[in-house]
Structure 1
Amino acid sequence: MAGAGRPAVHILESSALSGARKDMCIHHKGAIYRLKITRQGTLILNKQRCRRLP
């Protein structure tokens, strides 16, 4: 819930990002991050060191 003078936080369903996939990559400020959904349904976000976008 947003407080006085504070904007509401935008909430996304994880399925809106990943669809039916169990992992996806996110490009943020020149780095690649992998978001993975585990078998237990939790999320893991790791920074990828080996790949960069041109």
Structure 2
Amino acid sequence: MGDFDLAFKCLDEAINHKTIFINLLAVEPFFQPLLTDRTFSRLLKKLNLSH
């Protein structure tokens, strides 16, 4: 709900725990508000995904 810092912290934790939904990060509409943030692009690169 607008707290990008918290969102990215939770996504980092999900990546570290190898949470299954993380492979949908680039295509799931729920994450669309994060698309404009550079941190989101870095997460996608870390996962070898593109948007």
TM-score normalised by the chain length of structure 1? 0.24
User: Relative to total residues, which structure has the larger helix share, 1 or 2?
Assistant: 2
Q: Which has the higher contact order (CA 8 A, sep 6+)?
A: 2
Between structures 1 and 2, the one with greater strand share: 1
